[in-house]
Structure 1
Amino acid sequence: MLEITVALVLVLAGLIYVFMTWNFDYWKKRNVPGPKPTIFMGNYPNMYTMKKHTVYDIDKIYHEYKKHSDAVGVYGARSPQLLVISPELARRVFVSDFKSFHDNEISLMMDEKTDFIFANNPFSLAGEKWKKRRADVTPGLTQGRIKTVYPVTNEVCLKMSAWLNKQLKANAPEGINAKDLCLRFTTEMVTDCVLGLKAESFTDNPTPIMSHTKDLFSQPFTFLLYFIIVSTFPALRALFKLRFIPLATEKFFISLMQSAIDARRSQLAAGKQFERVDFLDYILQLAEKRNLDTRGLTAHTMTFLLDGFETTAGVLSHLLLLLGRDEQVQQRLRDEITANLNSQGIVEFEKLNDLPFLDACIQECIRLFPPAFMSNKLCTETIELPNKNGSTIKVERGTTVLVPHYSFMADEEFFPNPQDFQPDRFMQPDAAKTYRERGVFMAFGDGPRICIGMRFALANIKAATVEMLTKFDVSVNPKTRKDNILEPTSFLSTLKGGIWLNFKARQ
C-alpha cells in the first residue's frame, strides 16, 4: 500500500512538473533569447518571496541582455511575455506601432459585472470603448478648466499650511508622514475640484473620503494572488475577473456622486449660478448627452478621482523627500518660486508653467520614483519586431509585452549617476521631450494612451510645492532611509519604509 501511495505521489508530482514547465520552450521555438525560468515563479521570484520589489527582477534581466537584444522572452509563472529591452523599440510600442499594442493587459482581467467602475476607466478599457471614453473625458481636463479650479487648489494649499503648523506644535520626534500629508492634500483638492464637495482632510473630523481613497490602493493579498493564479492558469481570466475597487468603496463613491449631483442641481433649481465651470459641470453636461445614470456618472468621474488621488500624492511626497535631502536644490527652487510670487503670495496660473527649475525637479523626481515602474501592454494585432542580431520577433496577438520604464530611467548609459537627484538633467530646452522621444523617459506614458490627467496633476503638484517651500524649510527625518530602495509590497513605486519629513516654519 505504501509503495502504491508513493508511486501515485511521484506520478502526480511529475504531472504537475510537466504542466508547469511544458510552455517554457515557447520563446526558444521562436529563436527569442531570454533567461531560464523556474517552476512556479517564472522569472519573477520576488513577486512570490516579496524580499524585494519585482522591478529589481526585471532590471536584472534588462542589464543582462541590453547589449545583445532589443527584446527577450520571459515568463510570469508559466505565461510567456515579451520584455522590451531597447528604448527605441519601447517607443514603437507606444507610438508608431500603437495599433498593434492598443490595449493594456489589465483589460483581460476585469469586466463590468465584477468591477463596473474600474472596468470603465480609460486605463482598463480596450478597443473602440477606450477610444470613445477618452474622447468623452479629455475635454473635461482642458487647460481652461484646470485654470478655473486653480483658486480652489490654492485654498487647499492654505489649509495644508495651517494643518502643518498645527502638527509642528505637537513636535512629534518621527516628523510628518509625507505620504499622509500629500494624500490629505490630493483628497481635499480633487474632491473639491471635481465634485465641488469638501473632504475636510485637514480637520480633526475628515469625511470618509480619505479612508476610502486609501482602500483603493491598499489592496489585500488576494489581489496579488489573482495575478499569480492567472499567470499560472491564463484560461482562468475568462472565468474569474479582478475587482480593483472594493464593493464598499464603489457604493460609497456612487452615494458621494449622487450627493454632488443633488447639491449642484438644487443650486441651479434655486436660480444660483455656480461660481465656476468645473469638472462636475462638464460631467453633468456629458450625462445629458450620453443619458448616464448615477452609476455611469460615477464611472466617468472616477477617471478624474483615480488619476488624481494616489499617483499625484506619490509624486509630491517623493519630491519633498528629494528636496529635503538636498538643501541647495531646495533653496535654488525656493528662489525661483519667490521671484514669481504675486502680492497674495501665490504664483499665478499663467506663470506656473514658466518655472523651468520646478519642472526639472518634478521630472527628475518621476525619473527616480516613477509611479508606474513598467507598462503591461497587450498585443492586439500580430506584428514582427526587429532584434539586435538581425532576426525578427513575431509577436502574436494576445501576447503580453512589458515595457520597463524604471530600467530605462535608472540606466547609467542614459542618466549618469542614476540614483542621484540631479534636476539639471532636465534644464536643457525640451529635455523631457527629447528623452521621451528617445524612449528613455516616459513619466506619463506616451502616444495615444498618454496620461489624460497629466496637466491637472502637474498643476496641483506645482501649487503644493510653491506653498510648502514658501512657508517651510523641509528636511528628512532620521526615520527615513537614505537610499532609493522601493517598497516590495507596493504595486506603485514608493520608498521602502515610508517618507518622514521635518518641517520648520519660515519667518
Structure 2
Amino acid sequence: MCPITISLLLLASLVGLFYIFLIWNFNHWTKQGIKTVKSWPFLGSFPSAMTQKRNVAYDMLDIYNKYKDTENIVGVLNTRSPQLMVLTPEYMRAIYVTEFRKFHDNEMSKFTNEKVDKILANNPFLLLGDKWKERRAEITPGLSPNRVQAVYSVTQTVCKKFIDYIRKQQRMAPSDGLNAKSLCLCYTTEVVADCVLGISAGSFSDTPAPLVSMVKRVFEQSFGFIFFNTLATLWPPIRNFYSVPFFTKDVENFFFDIMQKAVNLRRESSEHRNRADFLNYMLQLQEKKGLDIMMLTSHTMTFLTDGFETTALVLSHTLLELARNPEALRLLREEVGTEELSFDKLSELPYLDACISETLRIFPPGLASRKLVTEPFEFVNKDGVSAKVVPGDVVILPIYAFHHDPNYYDQPEQFQPERFLEQNGGVRKYREQGLFYGWGDGPRVCPGMRFALTQLKAAVVEIVRHFNFKPNPKTRTDNVLDDTYFIGCIKGGIWLDFEPRD
C-alpha cells in the first residue's frame, strides 16, 4: 500500500478508537437494568453545556419531564462519565438529609486544586470528608444570629445610601431603565465589605474602589476553566497533574492584598478593634488556631464570595417579581409599614419571607446539585430494579426541575408568595417533602443564610417604601434563564423603571 493509504488507514483507526473511547461507558447503567437517556459522543446527555444555546438546566428539565412518571432514577452521561439523576423528592430529601453521610461531598471539589486555587479550594462547599466539618465549625459562629444582629446597623446605614444612589441613577436613567442586577451588586458589595471587612467599597460613588470591579469578575468563568472541566470529565486522570483555577491569579492576588490591608487597618484602629463583626471573629480564630494570612483570607472569602453575587441576584429577581405583580407589592407595603424596623421586627415579616422564598423557587441560585457518593447506596427504581452506587460516583439533583414541577407547585411559572405563608404550610412543608432547595438543605445548607436574608430584607423594605417601580420594556416577560450562567438568572438582564414615592 502507498504511504497515503497507510496514513489514511492509521487516521481512520485513531478516529475509530477515539470514538469508542467516547462511547465506551454509554451502556454502563443499561447493563444494570436502568434506563439511560439519549447521549452524544463528547456532549453526553447535556449538549447545552457545550453548545451554550440554552441553559443546561433545560437539558435536565427535559430529562426530568420525560422520565419522572416511570422512573425514580435515570442514567445520564456527563460527557462520557456515567452518573445518575434523581427524579423523586423522596430521594432528593434522602441525599440532602436522611442519608446525608453517604452523599456528603460535592462533585466540584474534584475540579479544584489547593495549589492553584487557594481561595476556592478552602471554601466549605468544596472541602471533602471531615475537612468540611472542621471548616464549617470554624466559620458558622461568625455567622451566628448575634453577630448578624450586631452588624444590622451597618446594613441599615448602607441601605440609606443605596436609596440615595437609586434616586441619583433614576434622575439620569436612560430610556431602557436601570440595570437592577448592577444596582443590587453595588449594594451587596458595599454591605458585605463593611460588615465583613469594616471597609467601604465606594460602590455608590462615581469612582468606586477596585473591589467593585473585582467582585464582578469573581464569577466570570474563564474559557480555560470550562475547557479543563470538560477534559477532566472525559479523562479524569488529568486532574492528578494539571488543574486550572476558578479565580484568575490577579483576582486571587487582589483579595489576598485587600485582606492583608483590612487586617492591618483593624489592628491599628482602636475604634473598630472591639467591633462584633466577621473580621474580628476571624482574627480571634486566627490567634486561637494559628492561621496564616492565606488561610485567614480563604476563610473570609467564604463570607465575601457567598455574599456578593448570589445575594445580588436574589435581590434583583425579587424586585423584578414585585414589579411584575402590583398586588404582591401592595401587600408587602402594608406589611412593612413606615416605621424604622429593628432587627427583631425585620425577622417578623411573613409576607416578605414568602416573597423571597418564592423568588428562590422560581430562580434558584443553584440550578442543580452534583453530589459525590461517599458510602455505598442502593437506589430502587419504580420497576423494582436497583442500582448500586459506590464512593466516587456522582448523583445529580435537578433542583430547577423540582421547583418548576406543576405536580408540586400549582402554576409554577407564576409568582405566588402565598404558597409559602405559614397558614399554607410555609417553607417547612416543601422542605420536608423534598421540594424546596433555595438555600440547599441538610448539614451543608448555606452557612450564610441568616446574613444574606438580613441583607435582602433590609434592602427590599427600603426600596418598596421609597419607590414605585415597574419592569422596563427591555426586560423579558417570561422567566427564560441565561444561556451560559451557572447561577440561575433571567436571560437579558433585569431592567426596571423607578419613580420616587416621597
TM > 0.5 = yes
Q: Confirm whether residue 55 of structure 1 aligns to residue 57 of structure 2.
A: yes
Deviation at 1:191, TM superposition (A): 0.3
Q: How does 1:118-267 map to 2 (within 5 A)?
A: 118-267=120-269
CA RMSD of aligned residues (A): 1.2
Q: Deviations over 1:252-306 (max 9, x none)?
A: 11111111111111124xxx46463111110000000110121111011001101
| Pairing partner for 2:395 from 364, 378, 401 | 401
| Pairing partner for 1:466 from 457, 461, 464 | 461
Q: Confirm whether residue 331 of structure 1 aligns to residue 330 of structure 2.
A: yes
CA–CA separation in structure 1 for the residues paired with 2:30 and 2:173 = 60
Q: Confirm whether residue 383 of structure 1 aligns to residue 377 of structure 2.
A: yes
Asked whether the equivalents of residues 34 and 75 of structure 2 are also in contact (C-alpha less than 8 Å), the reply is yes
**Residue aligning to 1:309:** 308
CA–CA separation in structure 1 for the residues paired with 2:389 and 2:306 = 31
CA–CA separation in structure 2 for the residues paired with 1:273 and 1:463 = 23
Q: Deviations over 1:127-158 (max 9, x none)?
A: 11111000000000000000110011111111
CA–CA separation in structure 1 for the residues paired with 2:341 and 2:272 = 28
CA–CA separation in structure 2 for the residues paired with 1:273 and 1:452 = 25
Q: How does 1:78-93 map to 2 (within 5 A)?
A: 78-93=80-95
| Pairing partner for 1:29 from 18, 28, 31 | 31
CA–CA separation in structure 2 for the residues paired with 1:35 and 1:219 = 28
SS at 2:61 equivalent: helix
CA–CA separation in structure 2 for the residues paired with 1:237 and 1:258 = 31
Q: Confirm whether residue 367 of structure 1 aligns to residue 361 of structure 2.
A: yes
Deviation at 1:70, TM superposition (A): 1.0
Percent of aligned positions with the same letter in both sequences? 46
Q: Deviations over 1:4-47 (max 9, x none)?
A: 33322321221111111111111112211121211111101111
CA–CA separation in structure 2 for the residues paired with 1:442 and 1:76 = 23
Q: Deviations over 1:72-91 (max 9, x none)?
A: 11001100111111111011
Deviation at 1:111, TM superposition (A): 2.0
Asked whether the equivalents of residues 266 and 272 of structure 2 are also in contact (C-alpha less than 8 Å), the reply is no
**Residue aligning to 2:434:** 439
* 365-374 vs 420-429, which moves further: 420-429
CA–CA separation in structure 2 for the residues paired with 1:391 and 1:81 = 17
CA–CA separation in structure 2 for the residues paired with 1:100 and 1:436 = 20
* 230-239 vs 152-161, which moves further: 230-239
**Residue aligning to 2:342:** 348
SS at 1:88 equivalent: helix
CA–CA separation in structure 1 for the residues paired with 2:427 and 2:366 = 17
CA–CA separation in structure 2 for the residues paired with 1:476 and 1:13 = 52
**Residue aligning to 2:472:** 477
Asked whether the equivalents of residues 224 and 244 of structure 2 are also in contact (C-alpha less than 8 Å), the reply is no
Asked whether the equivalents of residues 361 and 438 of structure 2 are also in contact (C-alpha less than 8 Å), the reply is yes
* 67-76 vs 384-393, which moves further: 384-393
**Residue aligning to 1:424:** 418
Asked whether the equivalents of residues 42 and 77 of structure 1 are also in contact (C-alpha less than 8 Å), the reply is yes
The two structures have a TM-score, normalised by structure 1, of 0.96
Asked whether the equivalents of residues 347 and 466 of structure 1 are also in contact (C-alpha less than 8 Å), the reply is no
| Pairing partner for 2:48 from 38, 46, 54 | 46
CA–CA separation in structure 1 for the residues paired with 2:446 and 2:33 = 35
1:117–1:273 Cα change, 3 Å: closer
1:275–1:502 Cα change, 3 Å: farther
Asked whether the equivalents of residues 79 and 234 of structure 1 are also in contact (C-alpha less than 8 Å), the reply is no
Deviation at 1:470, TM superposition (A): 0.5
Which segments of 5 or more consecutive residues in structure 2 lack a partner in the other structure?
none
Asked whether the equivalents of residues 336 and 355 of structure 1 are also in contact (C-alpha less than 8 Å), the reply is yes
* One-letter code aligned to 1:491: F
* One-letter code aligned to 2:418: D
SS at 1:26 equivalent: coil
Deviation at 1:237, TM superposition (A): 2.3
Asked whether the equivalents of residues 83 and 402 of structure 1 are also in contact (C-alpha less than 8 Å), the reply is yes
* One-letter code aligned to 1:444: W
* One-letter code aligned to 1:46: S
CA–CA separation in structure 1 for the residues paired with 2:476 and 2:175 = 16
CA–CA separation in structure 2 for the residues paired with 1:227 and 1:54 = 15
* One-letter code aligned to 2:463: M
CA–CA separation in structure 1 for the residues paired with 2:272 and 2:28 = 63
* One-letter code aligned to 2:500: A
Which segments of 5 or more consecutive residues in structure 1 lack a partner in the other structure?
none
| Pairing partner for 2:351 from 357, 361, 370 | 357
**Residue aligning to 2:67:** 65
SS at 1:347 equivalent: coil
Deviation at 1:68, TM superposition (A): 1.1
Q: Deviations over 1:180-215 (max 9, x none)?
A: 001000000000000000000000111111111111
CA–CA separation in structure 1 for the residues paired with 2:404 and 2:393 = 26
